[in-house]
A and B are shown apart, each in its own frame.
Chain A
Amino acid sequence: MRAGIPPTPAHEAISKQWVRVRFKPILLRHSPGNGSSAELLNRKRHVKNLKRDLIRKARLEKKQFSIPKRMLMARPKPSIFMDTILENRTKLWVPVLRRRRSVPIREITLKDFSFIDNPIGTLRLIREIALVEGSEISAYLHFDDDYCFDIGPYLVLSEMWSSMAPVFRGGRMLPPIQKVIWAVGLSAPLHMGLLGLRDLEDVWAFPLQRRRPPGSSNSLTRNLDPQAREKVVDRFIDEVDRWLGVGDDGLELTADGRAWIAHIIGEVLDNCERHSSPDTKDGDWSVAAFMARRVENGQPVFRCYMAFLSVGASIEESLRTCSATTREEVKRYSGRHFGQNGAPSTETLQTLFALQDGVTRDRNADSAGRGGTGLQDVIELVNILGTNSNPGRTPRLTIISGTSCIMLHGPYITGERKGGEHSARVIWCNPANSDMEPPDPAYVFDLPERFGGTLISLSFTFDPKHMIETVSG
C-alpha cells in the first residue's frame, strides 16, 4: 500500500474524480513555488509525469486485482463436505464485493496431503481451503508433495470444487502429481491447467468414476438392471490387466485375481450406495485409482492407490438403524471402553464395531442372518493383493467417516476368526485383537473436524509375480 494514498477497491473505476482525489496530495507537495521559467516548466512537467504514473500504476493494479466475472457472480453453494467441515459456513461466507484483497495474496500449501498417513493434517487443510473459499478474493494453492501418496484427498477436492467460488488462481504442483491428476481425470473437475505436464510415463490410472445422482433412476427394475458399479468393476478389471502387462512378464490376472478385485470394488461401492443414504439405499459414490512406477533404493516399485468416496451419512450414523440385538452389542462395546485413558469417542468406537463380520444396519438382513461381511472381505483382499515382506511396502487402508478415523495399517490389517471356521472375522486394532481391550489410539482416533461422508483410501505395493502366485495358490 503506497503511503498517503488509500488502496483502491477493485470494483472502483479509475474516473476523473478518482484521479483528482488521489492526485491531490501529490499536487500539494509540488506547489509552483519560486524559480526560473525553466524550473517552473520542469516542475510542471514533473507533476504531469507523476500524474501519468499514478494512473498507469492504478490501472495495472486494477488489472492485477480485478475480480473476474465468474467470481463476481459467486454465491455460497451448498456442499455437504464444506458445510459439514465448516460449521456455520453460510454465515462465515463473505459476499464477494465485501471481500478485501489480502496483501500478499493468501497461499495454502498442501504438504503430506494424504488421508492414509496424515488424516488429521489433511482434513485441516481441506477445512482451510473451505475457509479461504468463503473469505478471499484470490489465493494460491500449492501442492508441495513430491508424489501423490493418496488419491482420496483429490477425490474430496473434486467433490467440493463445483460448489466453490473460483478463488484459487493457481499454484505449484510438481510433474509427478500433475501426471496423476491428469491420468485420473481430475484436471477438468478441478479446473486445473497442468502446465508442467509433458508425458504420462510411469503412471497408469483408473479414471474417476461417479455414480449417477441418487434417485435419478426411474426404472421399475432398478435392482434387476445391470448396475453402474458392475460396469465400473468390469472397466477396472480390464485396467488392472493393462497394469499387469507393465512388467516384462506380460502377465494378466488369474480368474481368482479378477474375482477378488471385482469382489472388493463391488462390495465397497454397494456399501456406499446402501448406507450413505440409509433411507433410500440409493446413495452415491465416486472412485478412482492409479498405479505409479517409482524408483526406491534403486529398484522399480509399483505403488497402487485406490479411493472410494461416498457423501452423506457416516458409518456410525448409518448403524443407528440396526437391530436391537446389534444395538445392544455395540453399546456394550463402546460403553466398555469410552472414557478410558486414550479411548476415542463413542462414535469412533461404534465405527470400529461396524467393521466386524456380521454387523449390519439392515434389520431385515440381520434377522435373516445375512449381510455385514463386505468390509472384512475388503480387508482380506487388500492383504492378498498387497502381500509384501518389505515393511515399507505393506498394504495400508484408512477409513475416514464422520469424526472417526481408523487406520488399518500393520500390525492391525488382518481380520481374524477367533472361534473356528464359521466364526466372525474381527479386527479390534489392539495387540491381543480383543474386544475387551480398547483400540490402539495411534490407529483408531477422533478427527478434530467432521467429514461429511465416508472415505476409504488404500495403498499397496503391487508385485505382479507375487500376486499371481498368491491368488492362484
Chain B
Amino acid sequence: MAEINIGMVTGGKVRNLSGHERGLSVREELRIDELDVAKEPVRVVIPPDLYAVTTSFFQGMFAKSVKRFGSRDAFLEHYRFDGTTSVLRQIDRGISAVLTERHNIVAA
C-alpha cells in the first residue's frame, strides 16, 4: 500500500494545518493526482500530535480527489486515514464540505 505522511508538512513545528492554498501546495508536493489513479489504496498517516485540519486545508488538498471518487465511501476506500478520532472527524467534515452543494442558494 502506498503511504503519505502529512507530518512532513508540519515539520514538527506546528500541530495544526490550515489554509486552502497550503492544501493545494501540499497536494502538488505529494503528487496526489498520481495517487488518485494508483491501483492500490493509499495510507495517509497523520502524526498523533496533529490536532486540527481545517476544512479549507482539506479541500485544497483533497477536493479534487473526493470529486473524482464521487462519494465519501469511495474516497475513504482509496485514501485510508490513520489518525486520532478527533482528526478523523475533521476529515469527515472536510469531505462534507467538498460535497456541500454550491450555487443555487438564491431562488430564481
On whether the beta carbons of A233 and B16 are closer than 8 Å, the reply is yes
On whether the beta carbons of A435 and B107 are closer than 8 Å, the reply is yes
On whether the beta carbons of A234 and B16 are closer than 8 Å, the reply is yes
Residues of chain A at interface, number, CB under 8 A: 57
On whether the beta carbons of A259 and B103 are closer than 8 Å, the reply is no
On whether the beta carbons of A223 and B54 are closer than 8 Å, the reply is no
Of A270, A326, A422, A436, which one neighbours B18 at CB under 8 angstroms? A270
Q: Binding site of B, secondary structure by majority: helix, strand, loop or mixed?
A: helix
Q: A8-16, A106-114, A365-373, A438-446: which lies at the B interface?
A: A365-373
* Min CB–CB distance A281 → chain B (angstroms): 6
On whether the beta carbons of B16 and A274 are closer than 8 Å, the reply is no
* Contacts known (A231-B14, A270-B19, A365-B20); A256 close to B86, Cβ less than 8 A: yes
B51 contacts A by Cβ under 8 Å: yes
Of A229, A259, A357, which one neighbours B51 at CB under 8 angstroms? A259
A117 contacts B by Cβ under 8 Å: no
Residues of chain B at interface, number, CB under 8 A: 47
Which residues does chain B contribute within 8 Å of A359, judged by CB atoms?
105
A333 contacts B by Cβ under 8 Å: yes
Query: B5-45 CB contact bits vs A (8 Å, 1 = yes)?
Result: 00001110111111111101110010000000000000000
Which residues does chain A contribute within 8 Å of B89, judged by CB atoms?
256, 259
* Contacts known (A263-B90, A266-B19, A374-B55); A357 close to B106, Cβ less than 8 A: no
Which residues does chain A contribute within 8 Å of B85, judged by CB atoms?
255
Q: How far is the CA of A237 from the CA of B16 in the complex (A)?
A: 10
Of A227, A332, A336, A371, which one neighbours B22 at CB under 8 angstroms? A227
Q: How far is the CA of A325 from the CA of B96 in the complex (A)?
A: 22
Q: How far is the CA of A262 from the CA of B32 in the complex (A)?
A: 25
Which residues does chain B contribute within 8 Å of A426, judged by CB atoms?
105
On whether the beta carbons of B17 and A358 are closer than 8 Å, the reply is no
Q: How far is the CA of A255 from the CA of B15 in the complex (A)?
A: 12
Which residues does chain A contribute within 8 Å of B63, judged by CB atoms?
368-371
On whether the beta carbons of B25 and A223 are closer than 8 Å, the reply is yes
